[in-house]
Amino acid sequence: MEVTKCLECESELMGRIDKKFCNDQCRNIYNNRENRDSNEYVRKVNTILRKNRRILEKLNPK
Ligand SMILES: [Zn+2]
């Protein structure tokens, strides 16, 4: 039998092979962190886009 590990705490998982976490707490911690990372990425991209727009407006006021 193949051993899968919890994506959060890396303890070995028993039972269904498609399980990714040992319990709800680990799943929540993991998902919250993933969400925060992607939000941070979106924020950075938005900041760059805003800067670019300001530069473009300055260079091309029409
Ligand atoms: Zn876990």
Q: How many folded domains does the chain comprise? A: 1
Least confident of 4-8, 33-37, 53-57: 33-37
| pLDDT given for residue 2 in this prediction | 72
Burial 8-47 (b: 16+ CB within 10 A, else e): beeeebeeeeeeebbeeebbeebeeeeeeeeeeeeeeeee
Judge if pTM exceeds 0.75: no
Enclosing domain of residue 14: 4-59
* CA 39–ligand 1 middle distance (angstroms): 24
Ligand 1 center from residue 6 Cα (angstroms): 5
Q: How far is the CA of 25 from the centre of ligand 1 (A)?
A: 8
